[in-house]
Amino acid sequence: MSSAAITARPTRSVFAASRSALGALVKRDLLVLRKHAGEFAARTIMQPLLLVFVFLYVFPSIGQGVGGGGGKAGESDFATVLVPGVVAITIMFQGIQSVAIQLSQEFGYTREIEDRVQAPCPLWLVAVARVLSGAAQGMISAILVFPIAAVVHAPGVEAHLSVHWWVVVTLIPLACLAMTSLGLVLGTTFEPRNIGLMFGFVVLPLVFLGGTYYQWTKLSAIQVGGFPWLQTLVLVNPLIYIAEGMRAGLTEASHMHLYVVYPVLIGFCVLFLSLGLRNFRRRVLS
């Protein structure tokens, strides 16, 4: 310890110091994830499991299956729509859970952020580290959830899945980044005591109007004066592009064109990241 003299001269370049700091920040998050692996898995699986259990097992079994007008085939079509939707909301909830709620607490309650921002790297990198490790968690949860969503069904109900690997492999990471960036915006905006507000006014509308339970292409049927207002309105919802993208990646069902999905999701990433980083900086500096 005492062998090294104390010096007021920084020994490393900003770049070198930032690189190791980023590594340490992500490593820390992943260690915490490993420590709470059970909790993480339970939290990740619970909601999708309940969704598919109720919609794809209970409903068809008691004769009120969604799409039941078309018999088992109709119910299976609904399953085909729902499975990608479930993967999409899983990714979204991971962004909320691993970034928004965590950050909100670290800013408002535990003050842990106070120490982390003294890391020898630019402030924005501290936020980006959290976004990256959150995205990694999002990918893990997507992989956890997919088999469950694909398997839990009533007899005779079956989702018609066909995996398009290049879409899955590119879209899931992009979707995770977009949702953890959204988490950064929410976590730097909402105080811990307002988290309920965030769920009520941001998370729930995103979920229910995010194409989890229906295809965006079918929304054109909802019209006022010939104008498909709902189909137009939900375009502001980032989740719709993820759900549609997952539909393209996991099924043969009709979906929004991928030429739209990718650029818009990249746009949302940029928008949320820049908003989130600006908020983060404002919260940290005075």
Partner 1 sequence: MVVGELGEVIRTAGLTKVYPKADAPAVDGLDLGVRQGELFGLLGPNGAGKTTTVGMLTTRVVPTAGAAWIGGIDVVARPTLVKQVIAVVSQQNTLDRSLTVRENLYFHGLLFGVPARQARRTADELLERFHLAKWADASVFALSGGMAQRLMVARAIYHRPAVLFLDEPTAGLDPQSRLALWEILGELIADGQTILLTTHNMEEADQLCDRVAILDHGRVLALDTPAALKQGVGADTVVSVQADGDPAALAELLTREITGVTQSRLTGAGVELQVKGGGANRLLPRVLSAAEAGGFAVADLSVAEATLETVFISLTGKELRD
**Contact with partner 1 (CB under 8 A) among 69, 115, 165, 224:** 115
Q: How far is the CB of 180 from partner 1 (least distance, A)?
A: 18
Q: Is residue 223 part of the contact set for partner 1 (CB under 8 A)?
A: no
**Contact with partner 1 (CB under 8 A) among 30, 104, 107, 121:** 121
User: Residue 121 — left, alpha, or beta (φ > 0 → left; ψ -120 to 50 → alpha)?
Assistant: beta
**Contact with partner 1 (CB under 8 A) among 39, 114, 191, 252:** 114
Tokens of 114: 């106070």
Sign, CA dihedral 277-274-92-194, equals positive
Q: How far is the CB of 272 from partner 1 (least distance, A)?
A: 24
Q: Identify which range of 74-82, 116-124, 144-152, 179-187 contacts partner 1 by CB under 8 A.
A: 116-124
d(CA 242, CA 264): 10
Task: Say which amino acid occupies 266.
Answer: I
CA distances from 181 to 37, 52, 193, 282 (A): 23, 27, 21, 16
Sign, CA dihedral 218-81-133-259, equals negative
Q: Which is nearer to partner 1, 24 or 275 (CB)?
A: 24
Secondary structure class of 285 (helix, strand, coil): coil
Q: Which is nearer to partner 1, 61 or 105 (CB)?
A: 105
Give the contact letters, 17-56, x = binds to partner 1 (CB under 8 A), - = no: xx-xx-xxx-xx--xx--xx--------------------
Q: How far is the CB of 194 from partner 1 (least distance, A)?
A: 21
Using only C-alpha atoms, the chain has a radius of gyration, in whole angstroms, of: 21
Binding site for partner 1 (CB under 8 A): 1-2, 4, 6-12, 14, 16-18, 20-21, 23-25, 27-28, 31-32, 35-36, 110-115, 117-122, 284-286
